[in-house]
Structures are given as structure tokens and as C-alpha cells.
């Protein structure tokens, strides 16, 4: 297959006005255009498209070959992405080897509780203490963090 897409997705612009124009352009796209942009667009476009309510667009962003671990770590920390995106990130073994991604998923209030509870065992003591007092995470996760700290102190 030969890709004959001549669309200019733009370079990484810096001004706020250009970012607003880019966000407006992305919001006016159809779903197939968003999927194509997710695969070939810039970092800013992927950041805009990961929040799209359509699962197909968000999964296209996660399957982009130019996606970096730093972007995935930022996605894992975002509270305004869908839980399906967080679940997909959590199921990718390659991404879960990165401690920052794992910590971001654990601290994210939208991450499914079962996934957060399994990740809690891989946290270091400092992050575990922070999680035990974090009011943004679900209560069962905070309780589990406190229990793990108590067991470690014995």
C-alpha cells in the first residue's frame, strides 16, 4: 500500500492563536479524518484527539507509530480521557515497564479500581505514602495504600 496523503498536518506551532486554530480545525473534522490525523499528525493533534469521545479515534492515537512514552505518560495522568484509553495503556506490557506511566495510571481517578489496586504493589514507598493521602483517588485505593504502608513498617 502506498500512502498518497498530501495533507499538511503542520509543524509544532508555538503561538496560542495557532493552537486555537488547530483545535478548531480538529473539532470540525469527520471521524475518518480524525483517525487519519491521529496516525499522522503532530504531538499537539494527538493530545487533542486522545480526548475525543469516539473510541476509534482514541485507539488510533494510541496505535500511532510516532507516539512516545512521554506522551503516553501524559495521557495516563490526564483526568479528562476515557477509562477505555487508560485501560488500553494499562494492558500494554511495553508501556507498563515505564514507572512514570504506571504511577500516572495509579494516581488517575478515572483508572479502573481493579487496575489501580494491582499496580499499587509496584509503587515505591514515597509514592505509596503520597497515594495514601491523595483525596483525588478512590477511597478503597487509599485504604489499600495505608494497609501496605502499615505492613511495611512491621
Average pLDDT over every residue of 77-81? 94
Dist CA 108 CA 110 (whole Å): 5
Average pLDDT over every residue of 97-118? 96
Confidence category of residue 21, pLDDT binned at 50, 70, 90: confident
pLDDT, residue 22, reads: 85
Cα dist. 44→13, 89, 150 in Å? Answer: 9, 19, 43
Dist CA 54 CA 85 (whole Å): 11
Average pLDDT over every residue of 17-21? 83
* DSSP one-letter code for 45: H
pLDDT, residue 10, reads: 59
Closest CA to 58 of 29, 97, 86, 23: 86
CB count in 10 Å sphere of residue 129: 15
Model pTM? 0.84
pLDDT, residue 2, reads: 54
Amino acid at each position: 500500500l502506498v500512502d498518497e496523503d498530501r495533507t499538511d498536518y503542520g509543524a509544532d506551532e508555538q503561538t496560542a492563536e495557532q493552537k486555537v486554530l488547530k483545535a478548531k480545525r480538529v473539532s470540525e473534522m469527520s471521524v475518518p479524518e480524525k483517525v487519519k490525523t491521529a496516525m499522522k499528525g503532530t504531538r499537539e493533534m494527538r493530545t487533542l484527539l486522545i480526548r475525543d469521545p469516539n473510541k476509534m479515534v482514541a485507539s488510533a492515537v494510541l496505535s500511532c507509530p510516532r507516539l512516545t512514552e512521554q506522551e503516553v505518560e501524559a495521557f495516563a495522568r490526564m483526568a479528562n480521557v476515557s477509562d477505555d484509553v487508560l485501560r488500553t495503556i494499562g494492558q500494554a506490557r511495553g508501556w507498563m515497564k515505564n514507572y512514570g506511566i504506571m504511577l500516572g495510571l495509579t494516581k488517575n481517578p478515572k483508572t479502573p479500581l481493579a487496575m489501580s489496586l494491582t499496580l499499587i504493589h509496584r509503587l515505591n514507598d514515597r509514592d505509596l505514602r503520597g497515594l495514601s493521602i491523595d483525596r483525588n483517588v478512590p477511597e478503597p485505593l487509599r485504604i489499600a495504600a495505608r494497609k501496605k504502608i502499615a505492613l511495611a513498617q512491621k
